Structure 1
Amino acid sequence: MGIRSFYLVRRLLQPLLAVAGVVFLTLPPSQASAVRHDLGDLQQQVETFLERHYQQQDVERLEIKVGSLDPRLVLPACPQPLVMSLNDSSNSGGNLTVQTRCEASQSWSIYVPAQVSLFRPLAVASRNLVRGDVVSASDISIEVVNISQLRQGYLARRENIIGQELQRPMNKGEAFRGSILDAPLVIKRGDAVHIEIQAGTIAVNSTGIAMANGRIGQRIRVRNSQSERIVSAEVVEAGKVRTSI
């Protein structure tokens, strides 16, 4: 290929390469082999960088696959250690890119694709569960799960799950998440309830009828059976609410 043809091809390809987000340095074949950075070494350095980063996340197993680089990519050999950065604020892995930079006089930058899978013991459903089920210890098993494929908010500890009520169905093997759990109903609308009325340091007991469903910690409306007044009271346990005057 003549010099004129070489630069014509270069001008035609540059817009396409820019779209890919990669800097390609095209040099005459006689020079490329002398200055080209080893792409295999670059990929290995990216893998080592990712291993060191994610091994700090207390995972049981780590799998990393660095994407292939176009063999036509020509980068000047970098005489100093490459600088790498990663945009993964949740540290959950998945499909990502590592910005790799050479900050020598012939500087360059490239985004290297990679796939990271992080495996960690998590609490999962031991059987199919339906909405409204109150989770018991037998409903939970601990399995090593690829957390990179999960949404955030998953739960690892049994004690944070047992006694909670499901807000939607779960399949066997599915990880528990905080967003699908809630405290169970301990009072239902129309239930007779015990009312503890706090007046300063004095506590007065009464009875009433719940006018709404309630979970521990929630406030519900209750009709006092003696005064017929409707009050707002906090649910403290099954069949008991507390209010103050």
Structure 2
Amino acid sequence: MRRLFLSCLCLLLALPAWAGGNQDLGQLEKLAGLFLKRELGLREASWKLGRLDRRLVVPACDKPKAEWANPSETTGATAVSLSCPELGWALRLPVMVDEKRLGVALSRAVAPGEQLNAADIRMVEISNPALASNVLTDASQAVGQVMRSGAPAGAWLRGFMVRAPYLVRVNQQVKVLAQGDGFSAEAEGMAMSNAARGEQVNVRLANGRVVRGTVQEDGSVAVVF
């Protein structure tokens, strides 16, 4: 890959002057700056843009394009791709993006089984991402969730520490909504386990038959035949 990059670089350096003029590299850098301002303007981020090698020579482009070189890498050491689709050239401009990351932390000690509300959490800057693996990054991921285990005040709230609240509990009577090709029916049954909305649960019907369905928002169980 490095050999291919060097070969492409050599070709760019060796390009003759284009009849329509050469591309102003400074304009490309300004384009990259505008792109970053648009992309990062709503994020708490700062960036330091690199410079294009002034030895590079490419034909002037009427409509140059700026985009992330790798859309999955938009923070830290990354790059902006500057290209001209109609003329077939592309340049890579390095950029260092320093983004402020916030994580969800507990504002008080909580016990197993407690359901969290907005007062139980706070957003805290993650100064060391290496120590914040799996930390929730949005309050909406925590509010309304139930703690699987207890944790002290100030602890990071990680995904595995919470679960959705159960809408169906073991041995609870539930409504079963059965649907199939050309028919629908309702029945009552007993849940055989705990389950949250969207989870699968087995239900024993009055006739002893066990069916498996998906818990709905109202606590009913939808079974598709």
Provide TM-score, normalisation by structure 2. 0.53
Give the C-alpha shift of residue 126 in structure 1: 1.4
Give the C-alpha shift of residue 239 in structure 1: 3.1
Aligned CA-pair RMSD? 3.0
Alignment of 1:44-83 (within 5 A): none
Alignment correspondent of 1:216? 197
Alignment correspondent of 2:221? 241
Residue 134 (str. 1) matches residue 84 (str. 2) = no
Aligned equivalent of 1:168, options 122, 137, 149: 149
Q: 1:178 to 1:224 in 2, by over 3 A?
A: same
| CA distance, structure 2, for counterparts of residue 177 and residue 165 of structure 1 | 12
Alignment correspondent of 1:228? 208
Q: Secondary structure at the match of 2:177?
A: strand
Q: Residue 210 of structure 1 contacts residue 223 of structure 1 at CA under 8 Å; is this kept in 2?
A: yes
Give the C-alpha shift of residue 150 in structure 1: 2.1
Alignment of 1:25-174 (within 5 A): 120-148=101-129, 150-174=131-155
Deviations 1:168-193 (A, max 9, x none): 21221222211222212211111010
Give the C-alpha shift of residue 162 in structure 1: 1.5
Gaps of 5+ in 2: 1-39, 47-72, 77-97
Alignment correspondent of 2:55? none
Give the C-alpha shift of residue 144 in structure 1: 2.3
Give the C-alpha shift of residue 213 in structure 1: 1.3
Q: Partner amino acid for 1:224? A: L
| CA distance, structure 2, for counterparts of residue 237 and residue 59 of structure 1 | 35
Q: Partner amino acid for 1:244? A: V
Alignment of 1:181-196 (within 5 A): 181-196=162-177
Q: 1:142 to 1:60 in 2, by over 3 A?
A: farther
| CA distance, structure 2, for counterparts of residue 223 and residue 241 of structure 1 | 12
Deviations 1:83-124 (A, max 9, x none): xxxxxx9x89xxxxxxxxxxxxxxxxxxxxxxxx98632221
Give the C-alpha shift of residue 201 in structure 1: 4.5
Alignment correspondent of 1:198? 179
Deviations 1:35-79 (A, max 9, x none): xxxxxxxxxxxxxxxxxxxxx9x6679xxxxxxxxxxxxxxxxxx
Q: 1:119 to 1:160 in 2, by over 3 A?
A: same
Q: 1:242 to 1:193 in 2, by over 3 A?
A: same
Give the C-alpha shift of residue 149 in structure 1: 5.2
Q: Residue 187 of structure 1 contacts residue 238 of structure 1 at CA under 8 Å; is this kept in 2?
A: no
| CA distance, structure 1, for counterparts of residue 132 and residue 102 of structure 2 | 15
Alignment of 1:8-23 (within 5 A): none
Number of residue pairs the alignment of both structures matches: 139
| CA distance, structure 2, for counterparts of residue 147 and residue 216 of structure 1 | 34
Gaps of 5+ in 1: 1-55, 62-88, 93-116
Give the C-alpha shift of residue 200 in structure 1: 2.2
Q: Partner amino acid for 2:120? A: D
Larger Rg: 1
Q: Residue 221 of structure 1 contacts residue 231 of structure 1 at CA under 8 Å; is this kept in 2?
A: yes
Provide TM-score, normalisation by structure 1. 0.49
| CA distance, structure 2, for counterparts of residue 241 and residue 129 of structure 1 | 31
